[in-house]
């Protein structure tokens, strides 16, 4: 029996301490907006629908919801009157009647789906409310969990806590699961008679207790509960996210020679037996198959890389790059919207844009595809087993046929048929003895000056 689940993601916070033109939850960790991390955790934890509570930049935040894959409804909270008030902005969604309602914050991207799942299990087991708590290294600012043995009696917000209560280190992460059939009834009874004059979501604990309902706690690692309020928080969370992903990659069989110098994107997909050398940065949309080596100082984005490929050092793969097995991309090579077929080699100092390179073709050092005329982009097609000599400019649109040969230093403006030789450069002129004459004249000039 699968239970239905609504996830309510609170993302109406202004985030003024970010000093940004954009609302806080649009800022990115691992190339993904904070709120999208929360959406992804919700979906992974089994949410059928996500109710996104938005404030500033409502349109942009809502659009991210739509991209997240789940069914997303967006609700605007126009006045910021507290976390319970924010949850109630999604009243219409909650009223549809889900088995479980989970509430999480849009600015807390490290929360693991497993924690949400554990909280849901308690609701399935009959609890009305399950709070995700954590042991805080420094509890200042957090709501404290007031326990009696293993029973949660109440959550006391920092501003309302007595000196004794402030010493409690067991804190509220902000994440809460509720019985979907009781949620609205509990939330509607929350008042705002407290130090902040806000409607606190945390008050549902005492309200449920007063009705003799079952209230439980699950514990999470403090790291999962870290929220982002400042740019420094953003950097810290990015660091922790990267640490976590590096560890996962290594567990999955990826070799990271110097893990702390490799930066992944939220969607980087790497198979076992790939080696990543130091100082490699992944933008979004990269996948790499087994046996491939990414050499040091490479930057990859939007690239699909097959098995047993060698990339770099100092390579830059841009979006639309597709590399087939056993191909090689060497140092100071940039590719964009380019497919390199199996066994093709482009080893040094080259730009390939809007190009396709056939199997086993060899692209010499300093080759440039001239794909742009200032207005439009054009394609270059290079056939199987073709050889492009060093320092050639291939002026697109142009086709180099299978087995064709382009002499070095050529500017190729016309198609080259299969197996043809194309030379597009001035012929060499050699004058016997003329070099010695020039040297003698230059030597005299220098002597005369001194």
Please return the burial class of 137, using the count of CB atoms within 10 Å of its CB with bins 0-12, 13-18 and 19+: exposed
SS3 46: coil
Smallest gap, in angstroms, from Cβ of residue 227 to Ca ion? 5
Smallest gap, in angstroms, from Cβ of residue 207 to ligand UD1? 13
Tell me which residues in 189-228 interact with Ca ion (CB under 5 A).
227
The Cα angle at residue 218 between residues 215 and 221, in degrees rounded to 5: 150
Of 137 and 436, nearer to ligand UD1 (C-beta) is: 137
| Site membership for ligand UD1, residue 220 (CB under 6 A) | no
With CB cut-offs between 5 and 8 Å by kind, which of ligand UD1, Ca ion, none does residue 107 bind?
ligand UD1
| Site membership for ligand UD1, residue 86 (CB under 6 A) | yes
Q: Catalytic: 348?
A: yes
| Residues pairing with 219 in the sheet | 133
Pattern of binders to Ca ion over 225-254, x per CB under 5 A?
--x---------------------------
CA atoms within 13 A on the CB side of 256: 21
| Site membership for ligand UD1, residue 53 (CB under 6 A) | yes
| Site membership for ligand UD1, residue 81 (CB under 6 A) | yes
| Site membership for ligand UD1, residue 175 (CB under 6 A) | no
Sole binder of ligand UD1 in the list 28, 46, 48, 80 (CB under 6 A): 80
| Site membership for ligand UD1, residue 117 (CB under 6 A) | no
| Site membership for ligand UD1, residue 85 (CB under 6 A) | yes
| Site membership for ligand UD1, residue 65 (CB under 6 A) | no
Look at residues 1, 180, 38 and name the one whose alpha carbon lies nearest to residue 101: 180
Task: Give the H/E segment covering residue 398.
Answer: strand 398-400
| Residues pairing with 156 in the sheet | 144
Please return the burial class of 449, using the count of CB atoms within 10 Å of its CB with bins 0-12, 13-18 and 19+: exposed
| Site membership for ligand UD1, residue 83 (CB under 6 A) | yes
With CB cut-offs between 5 and 8 Å by kind, which of Ca ion, ligand UD1, none does residue 143 bind?
ligand UD1
| Site membership for ligand UD1, residue 200 (CB under 6 A) | yes
Sole binder of ligand UD1 in the list 33, 47, 57, 142 (CB under 6 A): 142
**278 near 296, Cβ under 8 Å?**
yes
SS3 51: strand
Please give the structure tokens belonging to residue 11.
């993302």
Q: Enumerate long-range contacts of 334-338, CB under 8 Å, 24 or more apart.
A: 335/303
| Site membership for ligand UD1, residue 105 (CB under 6 A) | yes
The bridge status of strand 393-395 relative to strand 411-412 is parallel
Please give the structure tokens belonging to residue 175.
């994440």
Smallest gap, in angstroms, from Cβ of residue 82 to ligand UD1? 5
Smallest gap, in angstroms, from Cβ of residue 211 to Ca ion? 28
Residues 6+ apart with CB under 8 A from 244: 110
Using CB under 5 A, list all residues that contact Ca ion: 227
Catalytic positions are 348
Using CB under 6 A, list all residues that contact ligand UD1: 10, 12-13, 53, 77, 80-83, 85-86, 105-107, 142-143, 155, 157, 171-174, 200-202, 227
């Amino acid at each position: 029996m699968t239970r239905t689940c609504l996830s309510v993601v609170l993302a109406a916070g202004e985030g003024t301490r970010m000093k940004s033109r954009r609302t806080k939850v649009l800022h990115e960790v691992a190339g993904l907006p904070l709120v999208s991390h929360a959406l992804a955790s919700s979906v992974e934890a089994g949410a059928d629908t996500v109710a996104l509570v938005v404030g500033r930049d409502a349109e942009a935040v809502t659009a991210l919801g739509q991209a997240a894959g789940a069914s997303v409804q967006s609700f605007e909270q126009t006045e910021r009157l507290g976390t319970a008030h924010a949850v109630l902005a999604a009243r219409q969604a909650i009223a549809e009647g889900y088995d479980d309602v989970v509430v999480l914050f849009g600015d807390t991207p490290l929360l693991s789906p497993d924690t949400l799942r554990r909280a849901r299990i308690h609701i399935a087991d009959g609890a009305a409310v399950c709070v995700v708590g954590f042991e805080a290294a420094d509890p200042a600012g957090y709501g404290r969990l007031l326990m009696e043995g293993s029973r949660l009696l109440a959550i006391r917000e920092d501003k309302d806590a007595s000196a004794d209560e402030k010493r409690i280190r067991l804190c509220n992460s902000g994440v809460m699961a509720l019985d979907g059939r009781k949620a609205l009834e509990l939330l509607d009874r929350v008042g705002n008679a407290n130090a902040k004059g806000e409607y606190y979501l945390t008050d549902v604990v005492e309200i449920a207790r007063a009705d003799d309902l079952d209230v439980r706690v699950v514990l999470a690692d403090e790291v999962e509960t870290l929220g982002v309020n400042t740019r420094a928080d953003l950097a810290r969370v990015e660091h922790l996210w990267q640490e976590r992903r590096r560890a996962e990659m290594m567990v999955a069989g990826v070799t990271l020679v110097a893990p702390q110098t490799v930066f992944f994107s939220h969607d980087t997909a790497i198979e076992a037996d790939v080696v990543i050398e130091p100082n490699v940065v992944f933008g979004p949309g990269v996948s790499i198959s087994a046996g491939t080596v990414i050499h040091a100082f490479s930057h990859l984005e939007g690239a699909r890389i097959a098995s047993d490929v060698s990339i770099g050092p100092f390579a830059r793969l841009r979006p639309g790059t597709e590399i087939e097995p056993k191909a090689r991309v060497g140092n100071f090579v940039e590719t964009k919207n380019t497919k390199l077929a199996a066994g093709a080699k482009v080893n040094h100092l080259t730009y390939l844009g809007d190009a396709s390179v056939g199997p086993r073709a060899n692209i010499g050092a300093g080759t440039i595809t001239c794909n742009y005329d200032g207005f439009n982009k054009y394609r270059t097609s290079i056939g199987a087993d073709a050889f492009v000599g060093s320092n050639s400019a291939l002026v697109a649109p142009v086709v180099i046929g299978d087995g064709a040969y382009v002499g070095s230093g050529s500017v190729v403006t016309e198609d080259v048929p299969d197996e043809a030789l194309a030379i597009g450069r001035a012929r060499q002129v050699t004058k016997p003895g003329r070099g010695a004459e020039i040297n003698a004249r230059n030597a005299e000039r220098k002597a005369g000056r001194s």
